[in-house]
Amino acid sequence: MNDEIWFSIKLSLLVSALSTIFVAVIGGAIAYLLATREFKGKAILEVLITLPLIMPPTVTGYYLIVIFGRNGYLGKLLFDMAGWSIMFTWQAAVLASFIISLPLMVRTAQAAIASVDITMRDSATMLGYSEWQTALKVVLPLAKKGILAGVVLAFARAMGEFGATLMVAGNIPGRTSTMPLAIYSYAASGDWEKAHLLVLILTLTSGLFIFLARQFEIKSGGRS
Amino acid sequence: MILAAVFKKKWDRFHLDIAFQMNEGLTVLFGASGAGKTTTLRLIAGLLPPDDGHLELNEAILFNAAQGINIAAQHRFMGYVCQKHALFPHMTILKNIMFGAKDLPAHLRQERARELIATLRLEGLEQKHPHEISGGQQQRVAFARAIIRKPQALLLDEPFSSLDTITRVKMRACLKSIMKDLHIPVIMVTHDIFEACHMADNMLIYSAGRIIQEGAPAEIIRAPATEEVAALTSFTYYQTVPPADYPD
C-alpha cells in the first residue's frame, strides 16, 4: 500500500472519529432535548436537523460554503478574527461529516430516549434528582444501546461521506483526500487497483458498523 | 391541617378545579377515569404546573400562584409510587432502594436500605434485578424507595392495580403497617371501592374535575350526596342497575 492510500485511510479514520465525537455529544444533547421537551420551534429544529439526511450532500455542502466560506456569514467573522478559513482543510471534512451524520445520531438516539418510560424520569425527580442527574443516572443508561447504535451509524456515515466534503474540503491529495474522495480520483484516472482496494476496505468497514448498529438496535428493543 | 391544596388547571376540554385539606392518615381520591385524580396527584407532586391555586404542606408553601412560589418537585420531599412501580431495570433491588436516599452518606444509605429490606420482607432479593422478582415484591421495593428519605407526604397512584387479588390484600396490610411508622399524609388514587373503604380515613369523590363529596368512606356510602356518588360508591350498583340507567 502506498503513502497516498495510507494517508486517505488515516484521514478518513481521523475525520470520522472527530466528527463522531462531536455528533455523540452535540447530537446526544439535541436528541435528549427533542425526546423530553415540548417547545416552540421544535418542529422546525427537527426539520433542519433531518434535512441533510434527504438533501443531496452537494446541497448541504453548498449551504456550508454559504455559512463557513471565506465570505460566508460565520466564515468571514472567523477569518477577520483568526486570519484562518476552514475551507479546503481537513477540518472542513470534519464539519461536513458532522452535519451529514448528525441526523442519523439524533433520530436514533431520540427514539431510544423517548422509549424510556416517563414514569422512570418522574420517579427520579420525586426522589430529588435534578434533570441533569436523572439524564445521567436513569435515562442514558436505559437508552444507551439505542444511543450507541446512533453513534455507530454516524461513524459509518462519516466514513462514507463524499459530496459535502468535496464541496467544502476539496479533493487535495495528501491534505483533504479521504477514502471516498481518493476512490473518486483513482477511478477517474483509471487507477482501478487502488480504487478496488479502497472500495473493499470501505465496504467491509461500513458493513461491520451497520452490523454493530443493528445488534445495538435489537438489544435496545428498536427492532423485533 | 397538614396539607392544603387548591388547584385550577385547564386543558382544551378538561377543567380541574379542586380544593381540599387533610391531616396525617390516608385520603383516597376516588372517581371515574379521567375525573382528575391522577392530575391532582401530579400537581401536588410538582410534576405538573397548576394554572392557579396554592399548596401547603406542614405550613410550608410549596406553590402559590399569586406569590409566584413554585418549589420544584425535587425539593418537595414527597414519596411517589405509581401503578407501574417504575423501578430502574438497570439497578439491583438494593441499588433501587438506595437510589431514593441521595442526600444520606453512602454507609447510612446502605444501612437504611437494609433496614427497609428487613421491614418489608425483601431479604435475599438485594442483588436481583426488578424483572427477576414478583409484582408484589416490586411494589414493596417501590414503597421502600419512596420512603427511604423520610418524605413529608406519600402520593400513591393506583399502586395496587397491577397486582392479583391476594397480593393486593397483602399489600394493603403492608401499606397500613408502613403508615403506622410514618405519620405523614398519604394520598392514594384508586378505582377500587373495596380498597378505598378498606384503606381510607377520608375519601374525596371526583367527577369531571371537581370534588363532589368528601368524608369518611362509611359516611359517603351511608349518605351519598348525589345519584352519581351513590353509583360510584355502591358495591352492588353495577351488578343490579342496567347500563341504560347509569347516571350521566
Over residues A39-56, the pLDDT tens digits come to 999 999 999 999 999 999
Residue B241: the pLDDT is 54
Question: Count of domains in chain B?
Answer: 1
**Banded pLDDT at B244 (limits 50, 70, 90):** low
A20 lies in some domain: yes
In this predicted structure, the answer to whether residue A222 has a pLDDT above a threshold of 60 is: no
Residues of A in contact with B77 (CB under 8 A): 128
Place of cell 373495596: B194
Residue in chain B nearest A125 by alpha carbon: B74
Our CA-based measurement puts residue A38 at a distance from the nearest CA of chain B, in whole angstroms, of 14
Residue B174: the pLDDT is 85
Question: Count of domains in chain A?
Answer: 1
Cα–Cα distance, B128 to B63 (Å, whole number): 39
Q: Average of pLDDT values for A207-221?
A: 77
Give the one of B74, B86, B146 whose C-beta lies nearest to A129's C-beta.
Answer: B74
In this predicted structure, the answer to whether residue A212 has a pLDDT above a threshold of 90 is: no
CB contact under 8 A, A120 and B73: no
B110 lies in some domain: no
Cell of B103: 442526600
Where in the sequence is the domain holding A189, given as residue range(s)?
3-55+90-219
CB contact under 8 A, A128 and B90: no
Express as a percent the part of chain B with pLDDT over 70: 94
Our CA-based measurement puts residue B89 at a distance from the nearest CA of chain A, in whole angstroms, of 8
Q: Between these two residues, B35 and A213, which has the higher pLDDT value?
A: B35
Residues of B in contact with A137 (CB under 8 A): 99
Place of cell 468571514: A76
Q: Which residues of B touch A (CB under 8 A)?
A: 45, 47, 73-75, 77-80, 82, 84, 86, 88-90, 99-100, 102-103, 145-146, 149
A68 lies in some domain: no
Contact A219, A152 (CB under 8 A): no
B22 lies in some domain: yes
A33 lies in some domain: yes
Q: Average of pLDDT values for B200-220?
A: 93
Over residues A165-179, the pLDDT tens digits come to 999 999 998 899 999
Give the one of A120, A125, A142 whose C-beta lies nearest to B47's C-beta.
Answer: A125
- Indicate the burial class of A223 (C-beta count within 10 angstroms; 0-12, 13-18, 19 or more): exposed
CB contact under 8 A, A127 and B100: yes
Establish, for the pair of chains A and B, how many residue pairs have beta carbons separated by less than 8 Å. Answer: 50
Residues of B in contact with A120 (CB under 8 A): 86, 88
B143 lies in some domain: no
**Banded pLDDT at B107 (limits 50, 70, 90):** confident
B121 lies in some domain: no
B139 lies in some domain: no
Where in the sequence is the domain holding B32, given as residue range(s)?
3-77+151-245
Residue B67: the pLDDT is 94
Give the one of B86, B100, B102 whose C-beta lies nearest to A120's C-beta.
Answer: B86
CB contact under 8 A, B86 and A119: yes
In this predicted structure, the answer to whether residue A223 has a pLDDT above a threshold of 50 is: no
**Banded pLDDT at B239 (limits 50, 70, 90):** low
Q: Between these two residues, B62 and B242, which has the higher pLDDT value?
A: B62
A167 lies in some domain: yes
Q: Which residues of A touch B (CB under 8 A)?
A: 117, 119-120, 122-130, 137-138, 141-142
In this predicted structure, the answer to whether residue B222 has a pLDDT above a threshold of 50 is: yes
Q: Is A11 left (phi over 0), alpha (psi -120 to 50) or beta?
A: alpha
In this predicted structure, the answer to whether residue B10 has a pLDDT above a threshold of 90 is: yes
B96 lies in some domain: no
Residue A219: the pLDDT is 66
pTM of the model: 0.82
The CATH number covering residue A120 comes to: 1.10.3720.10
Q: How many CA atoms lie within 13 A of A74 on its CB side?
A: 7
Closest among B143, B40, B132 to A127, alpha carbons compared: B143
A224 lies in some domain: no
Cα–Cα distance, A178 to A57 (Å, whole number): 16
Q: What is the ipTM of this complex?
A: 0.87
The CATH number covering residue B49 comes to: 3.40.50.300
B217 lies in some domain: yes
Q: Does residue B53 sit in helix, strand or coil? A: strand
Contacts of A22 (CB under 8 A, 6+ apart): A94, A98
Q: Average of pLDDT values for B113-122?
A: 91
Give the one of B79, B82, B99 whose C-beta lies nearest to A119's C-beta.
Answer: B82
Over residues A172-200, the pLDDT tens digits come to 988 999 999 999 999 999 999 999 999 99
Residue B161: the pLDDT is 83
Residues of B in contact with A122 (CB under 8 A): 45, 47, 80, 82, 86
In this predicted structure, the answer to whether residue B242 has a pLDDT above a threshold of 60 is: no
Residue in chain A nearest B48 by alpha carbon: A122
Contact A176, A90 (CB under 8 A): yes
Q: Average of pLDDT values for B5-23?
A: 93
Q: How many CA atoms lie within 13 A of A156 on its CB side?
A: 20
**Banded pLDDT at B236 (limits 50, 70, 90):** low
Residues of A in contact with B98 (CB under 8 A): none
Cα–Cα distance, B67 to B56 (Å, whole number): 13
Give the one of B45, B84, B88 whose C-beta lies nearest to A126's C-beta.
Answer: B45
CB contact under 8 A, B90 and A119: no
φ, ψ at A26 (rounded to 5°): -70, -45
Over residues B65-102, the pLDDT tens digits come to 999 999 999 999 999 998 888 999 999 999 999 999 99
B66 lies in some domain: yes
In this predicted structure, the answer to whether residue A65 has a pLDDT above a threshold of 90 is: yes
Give the one of A117, A122, A142 whose C-beta lies nearest to B80's C-beta.
Answer: A122
Contact A123, B45 (CB under 8 A): no
